[in-house]
Amino acid sequence: MSRLITTLMSEDFIEYKDTSKEIVLSDLLKKIVEKDDRDKIVQKTHSLLDEIFYLTQECSYIGILDNNSVLYLNKVDKSKRVLKTRNSIGLHAPLHTNGFGKILIAFSDIDINSLTLQKFNNNIITSVTKLQKEIELIKERGYAIGNEEHEFGLKSVAVPYFNKKNQFVGTISISGLSVRLDEMTLHEYGQDIFKLVNRFN
């Protein structure tokens, strides 16, 4: 056993916690496990993103919480439009600036008071009280709307995604040009995507 532990330590898979004798996973192994988990999420949701794209004809995403921000894991956009949303896979966005992040706030154990509500434009909610009310509304209806908060000209709608064990995983969302996504359309898509995601599991 001691040889095995010594080998795992020499390869940076495990390490001692601080100055104690408690052995924990190293950052390297955590990253390997984390990447594996994320790859599984991408695989399991790809067909769902396909369905959502065909339902809405808008770019669909799966995003997760990472260091108090949205991390975009995957997207599906099979449209032949000249103007498309940029490739966001692997990029991060502040939680309070779009529908994606608002879902993560609503269904994760996040203290809103701990967030830096930076103002990028006039559409962004920078008041903790107003954001809390928005989160309560999102929990009631099951979807969130992003209204040109992170980027002018882009709107989004997002719903929570739970695994088969009913554990919250992340957010399934669409994003598209505001000229195509008026308020009524966003609410209709929010309800339709919510139903589709719930049927998926």
Q: Can you spell out the DSSP letters for 116-166? A: ----SSTTS---HHHHHHHHHHHHHHS-EEEESSSSTTEEEEEEEEE-TT-
Residues (pLDDT < 70) of the chain are 1-16, 18-21, 23-36, 82-87, 201
Number of domains in the chain: 1
pLDDT for the residue numbered 50 = 95
Give the per-residue pLDDT at 8.
Answer: 56
Both tokens of residue 80?
Answer: 């032949």
In-domain check, residue 192: yes
CATH number at residue 69: 3.30.450.40
Angle between helices 99-107 and 128-141 in degrees, nearest 10: 80
- pLDDT value for 29: 45
Do the domain assignments include residue 133? Answer: yes
Asked, for residue 147, whether it belongs to a domain, the answer is yes
Instruction: Give residue 92's pLDDT.
Output: 84
Q: Is residue 113 part of a domain?
A: yes
Q: What is the pLDDT of residue 94?
A: 87
Per residue in 150-183, pLDDT (tens digit) is: 788 889 999 999 988 889 999 999 999 898 999 9
Average pLDDT, the chain: 84
- Is residue 24 a part of any domain in this protein? no
> pLDDT over 90 for what percent of the chain?
44
Quick check: is 67 in a domain?
Answer: yes
Whether 8 maps to a domain, the answer reads no
Domain range spanning residue 196? 35-200
User: If we measure between CA atoms, which residue out of 56, 27, 25, 40 comes closest to residue 197?
Assistant: 56
Would 151 be classed as within a structural domain? yes
Per-residue tokens: 184: 């009524």
